[in-house]
Amino acid sequence: MSHTLRLAAAAAALVCSSLASAGTLTIESWRVDDKGLWEDVLLPAFYKANPGITVKFSPTSPPEYNSALNARLTAGTAGDLLTCRPFDVSLDLYKKGHLDKLNGNPALKSFPESAQVAWQTDDGKDTYCVPMASVIHGFFYNKKVFSELGLAVPVTEADFFSALDKIKAQGKVAPIAMGTADQWETNQIVFTGIGPNHWKGEEGRKAIIAGKKKFTDPEFVSTWDVMAKWANYLPKGYQAQTYGDSQNLFGTGRAAIYPAGSWDISYFEGNSKVEFGAFKPPVQKAGDPCYISDHTDIAMGINSKSKNKADAQVFLNWLASKEFADLYTNKVTGFFSLSNHAIDVKNPVAKEMISWRNQCKSTIRLNAQIMSRGTPSMENELWNVSSQVMNGKMAPKDAAAQIQTGFAKWYTPGK
Convert the chain into a string of H (helix), E (strand) and C (coil). CCHHHHHHHHHHHHHHHHHHHCEEEEEEECCHHHHHHHHHHHHHHHHHHCCCEEEEEEECCHHHHHHHHHHHHHHCCCCCEEEECCCHHHHHHHHCCCECCCCCCHHHHHCCHHHHHHHECCCCCCECCEEEEEEEEEEEEEHHHHHHCCCCCCCEHHHHHHHHHHHHHHCCCEEECCCCCCCHHHHHHHHHHHCHHHHCCHHHHHHHHHCCCCCCCHHHHHHHHHHHHHHHHCCCCHHHCCHHHHHHHHHCCCEEEEEEECCHHHHHHHHCCCCEEEECCCECCCCCCCEEEEEEEEEEEEECCCCCHHHHHHHHHHHCCHHHHHHHHHHCCCCEECCCCCCCCCCHHHHHHHHHHHHCEEECCCCCCCCCCCCCCHHHHHHHHHHHHHCCCCCHHHHHHHHHHHHHHHCCCCC
User: What is the SS3 assignment for 27-90?
Assistant: EEECCHHHHHHHHHHHHHHHHHHCCCEEEEEEECCHHHHHHHHHHHHHHCCCCCEEEECCCHHH
Mean pLDDT, range 45-50, rounded to an integer: 97
Measure Cα distances from 162 to 158, 165, 169, 177 in Å. 6, 5, 11, 17
Assign residue 111 a region: left if phi > 0, alpha if psi is -120 to 50, beta otherwise? Answer: beta
What percentage of the chain carries pLDDT values higher than 70?
A: 94
Chain-centroid distance, C-alpha 33: 16
Torsion of CA 336, 35, 317, 70, to 10 degrees: 100
Q: How many CB atoms lie within 10 A of CB 107?
A: 21
Closest CA to 193 of 47, 366, 412, 322: 366
Q: How many CB atoms lie within 10 A of CB 384?
A: 18
Mean pLDDT, range 62-78, rounded to an integer: 95
Closest CA to 220 of 380, 401, 400, 384: 400
Residue 11 has pLDDT above 70, yes or no: no
What percentage of the chain carries pLDDT values higher than 90?
A: 91
Phi and psi angles of residue 371, each rounded to the nearest 5 degrees, phi first: -65, -20
Model confidence band, residue 15 (pLDDT cutoffs 50, 70, 90): very low
Mean pLDDT, range 270-292, rounded to an integer: 97
Classify residue 358 as exposed, middle or buried by CB count within 10 Å of its CB (0-12, 13-18, 19+).
exposed
Model confidence band, residue 109 (pLDDT cutoffs 50, 70, 90): very high
| Contact indicator for 340, 114 with CB cutoff of 8 Å | no
- How many whole angstroms separate alpha carbon 408 and alpha carbon 404? 6
**What pLDDT is stored for residue 187 in this prediction?**
96
Per-residue pLDDT tens over the stretch 233-262:
999 999 999 999 999 999 999 999 999 999
Model confidence band, residue 117 (pLDDT cutoffs 50, 70, 90): very high
| Contact indicator for 188, 382 with CB cutoff of 8 Å | no
Residue 10 has pLDDT above 60, yes or no: no
Mean pLDDT, range 42-67, rounded to an integer: 95
Closest CA to 333 of 271, 243, 264: 264
| Contact indicator for 227, 191 with CB cutoff of 8 Å | yes
Phi and psi angles of residue 35, each rounded to the nearest 5 degrees, phi first: -55, -50
Mean pLDDT, range 157-167, rounded to an integer: 98
**What pLDDT is stored for residue 14 in this prediction?**
37
Q: How many CB atoms lie within 10 A of CB 99?
A: 25
Per-residue pLDDT tens over the stretch 183-231:
999 999 999 999 999 999 999 999 999 999 999 999 999 999 999 999 9
Question: Which residue type is seen at 399?
Answer: A
Model confidence band, residue 17 (pLDDT cutoffs 50, 70, 90): very low
Residue 315 has pLDDT above 60, yes or no: yes
- How many whole angstroms separate alpha carbon 180 and alpha carbon 187? 10
Model confidence band, residue 19 (pLDDT cutoffs 50, 70, 90): very low
Residue 414 has pLDDT above 60, yes or no: no
**What pLDDT is stored for residue 204 in this prediction?**
98
Average predicted confidence (pLDDT) for the chain: 93
- How many whole angstroms separate alpha carbon 123 and alpha carbon 210? 11
| Pairing, β 255-261 against β 174-176 | parallel
Per-residue pLDDT tens over the stretch 174-185:
999 999 999 999
